[in-house]
Structure 1
C-alpha cells in the first residue's frame, strides 16, 4: 500500500462505529498501532473465552474437573430426572470411591445450568 492508498474500513463493520473510526483516523501512527495491538489481544481473549464456554457446555467430566483414575463412567439408560432438571439435560454417571454421582447439565438461554445428585 502506498501513502496515497488510504485504507477503508471493512464493509461488515456496523455503521454505529463511524464516530469511533473517525476519532481513530485523527490519531498518530504509534497510537493506532497500540490500539491495534490491544484489539488483537482483546479478540484473542474473546475467542478463548467463547471456546472455554463451549467446552464447559460439552464437558462431561465432573464439575471439579477431577479425572482421577478411581472415577469410572457408566452408561446412562432410562434415568429418571430429578425435579427442576429438564429431560434434554445431558447426564454423566460416575462412581467415585464407591459412591455414584449423576451429573446433569443443560442450557437455559445463555446460561449453562447443572445439578449433581448422589445416588
Structure 2
C-alpha cells in the first residue's frame, strides 16, 4: 500500500472529496458500505424497471392500435342488435373505448 493518499475520481465533486477527507477511517468504512449497498439497490431497481418495461412490450397484442394502452381489454358492445368489439381502458375516473371491429366479421 502506498504512503500517498489516493487520487479521487475526476468526476467526484470537490465538496464531496473535501467532506470525505475530513472523516475518520470508521466513518469512511460506513460510507463505503452504505454506498455499495445503495449502488446495488439502484441497479436492482433499474433492472426491475427495465424488465417490467420489457414485459409490457412483450404482452402488447399485435392488433393493439398505437393510441390504445397495453392495459386495455377487449369488451363486446351490442348496438342495434349487432355486436362489436371495443378496446376499453381507464384513464383516471373515465373509461375510454376504441372500436376494434364486428364480433362476427361476416355480418
Q: TM-score per shorter chain, which class?
A: 0.5 to 0.7
Match of 1:69 in 2: none
CA distance in 2, matches of 1:80, 1:22: 55
Q: For 1:59, what is the secondary structure of its paired residue?
A: helix
Name the CA shift for 1:33/1:80 in 2 (closer, same or farther; >3 Å).
Answer: closer
Q: In the TM superposition, what whole-angstrom CA distance separates every residue of 1:12-63 from its partner, at most 9, and x where no partner exists?
A: x24xx2112101101100000000000000000000000001000101577x
Name the CA shift for 1:80/1:41 in 2 (closer, same or farther; >3 Å).
Answer: closer
Larger RCO: 1 or 2 (CA < 8 Å, sep 6+): 1
- Mark the structure with the bigger radius of gyration: 2
The CA RMSD measured in Å over matched residues stands at 2.6
Where does the alignment leave 5 or more consecutive residues of structure 2 unmatched?
76-107
Number of residue pairs the alignment of both structures matches:
74
Q: Normalising to structure 1: TM-score of the pair? A: 0.52
The answer on 1:118 being equivalent to 2:74 is yes
The answer on 1:47 being equivalent to 2:32 is no
Where does the alignment leave 5 or more consecutive residues of structure 1 unmatched?
63-75, 90-103, 105-114
Name the CA shift for 1:26/1:118 in 2 (closer, same or farther; >3 Å).
Answer: same
Moved >6 Å (runs of 4+)? none
Match of 2:6 in 1: 7
Name the CA shift for 1:42/1:80 in 2 (closer, same or farther; >3 Å).
Answer: closer
The answer on 1:56 being equivalent to 2:52 is yes
CA distance in 1, matches of 2:9, 2:15: 15
Q: Identify the structure with the greater helix proportion.
A: 2
